[in-house]
A and B are shown apart, each in its own frame.
Chain A
């Protein structure tokens, strides 16, 4: 069970604070939905949490060790990262794309060691990609590519998974499928942190909610208590009605708030 903690995270660009004094702590077994308006600093925060960027102030610790002190290969084995709308730049076979997730486990030269081949087959089957195994990744449909990319992130069995808008551009069934899988990872004890724009899916699937407003941590806590009409008014400037809880929750947008 891994533990991620952020303290005093601050990032400045051209005199403006993109992230301002963000601090929180979360242990494995949670699916954290990061929400906020466009430009609120979600992607910047996820980059810091993934150890891909260094803050101007503050630090991120994974299991007590500062991100900056971790060996990159070791970190790559323990943390999976999925950026916004990832794509394949060459028409390599889907199985090769998924196998790239094993890179931090491989020696500097040579192909995939035989011992890892079953793991690849398993991952392809688990993500319903067995039929697309030899298909060039550039010809996959949006849903298939999203599954392949998630399979790529998860094949190395990381304890911490960071995904930036993993369901943007997916149709309802693929979005539901992806959220179900992410929640399943959390149930297995992993820590999943995902930026989400679909608040209904966030309400249904996330265990925790982290709301950013203009670079500041506006709220952080268990989703049922944290996701309220008052929060949506202040974070998104919208009036919303929230009905139900857990798997039946529904977030309905009524209109823009009157300032």
Chain B
């Protein structure tokens, strides 16, 4: 681990924000139908008059906004989780919340509710995430270790329910729809989805954003963090609540997306001198950017069936994981 001087505080957030805006703008041009800059400007100025305008306002823009919201939620939640657990392999999925959201969404598909009411899938997903979070809280308060063990128990219970739903799927088509939903996607998401998820995602992120000082103090271990005036039990509950709201809502709307929450804090950490509080904002920005890039990837890589977002992030994330293991092996004696 080199004694590289961390960058001054504002450099990384500004750089990440500029890159994020650039990628977001690029995402408006790219897709099945590539739009020229003049199309985009014309579409944005007179949205109702042209096909380009419709594509932009009803398809590309909500997609980009949702990718930013979900990616930021995953990146921030990952950074706070890694700070709380002081473990570089922690990931927002550890608390069982993403699996809970998936169970809720799959139940909606199981009963065909999404054909009756389009937002049934994300709504039940949210309910599933909240139930999973409440279970993790009920069994896991007490210590950080019990929180993680309870999270693992809830996560495996929820995957058992997922398997059960697939097992007894009412029709092969329903089974197909469920498994495809679980792979995650940003396609066919409307402003309604954003209106539903954004309040929860933003509320959860607001909670997580206040954890900077606490995760910094936790660098010294829980005893010293307590002695510096923090109540670690409250920090745990707030983390669970923040992750539950933000990642729960994000997963309910787009399905399971892996690796963003794990990778974003890692990529940021060396540039901020490993200080946990300084990873929070850049991780959120980088998470948003990574998800946008992955989503652009699913659009520009032409395949017969849609390449799903969760599949792409997993494919890109796995090599990252190998790199991480190699690096840890090099750093640790």
Contact = CB atoms under 8 A, between A and B. Distances in A.
Contact of B227 (A79, A87, A111, A136): A79
> By DSSP majority rule, is chain A's interface helix, strand, loop, or mixed?
mixed
B159 interface: no
B273 interface: yes
Contact of B1 (A72, A97, A136): A136
Contact of A80 (B223, B227, B276): B227
7 contacts: A50-B227, A52-B227, A90-B275, A100-B219, A101-B228, A134-B3, A138-B1
Interface in A69-103: 72-73, 75-77, 79-83, 86-93, 96-97, 100-101, 103
B213 A139 contact: no
B228 A76 contact: yes
Nearest to A134: B3
Interface in B219-235: 219-221, 223-224, 226-231
Contacts of B1: 91, 136, 138-139
A16 to B, nearest CB: 21
A28 interface: no
A91 B273 CA distance: 8
Contact of A103 (B86, B223, B228, B231): B228
Contact of A83 (B5, B210, B221, B230): B221
A2 interface: no
A106 interface: yes
A89 B86 contact: yes
Given A52-B227, A72-B231, A75-B229, A86 B273 contact: no
B217 to A, nearest CB: 6
Interface residues of A, number: 37
Contact of A86 (B5, B212, B221): B221
B227 A103 contact: no
B5 A134 contact: yes
B170 interface: no
A86 B224 CA distance: 8
Given A103-B216, A135-B3, 4 more contacts: A72-B231, A73-B229, A83-B223, A89-B218
B229 A111 contact: no
B144 to A, nearest CB: 12
Contacts of A136: 1, 3, 274
Choose among B86, B218, B219 the residue with the greatest number of A CB atoms under 10 Å from its CB.
B219
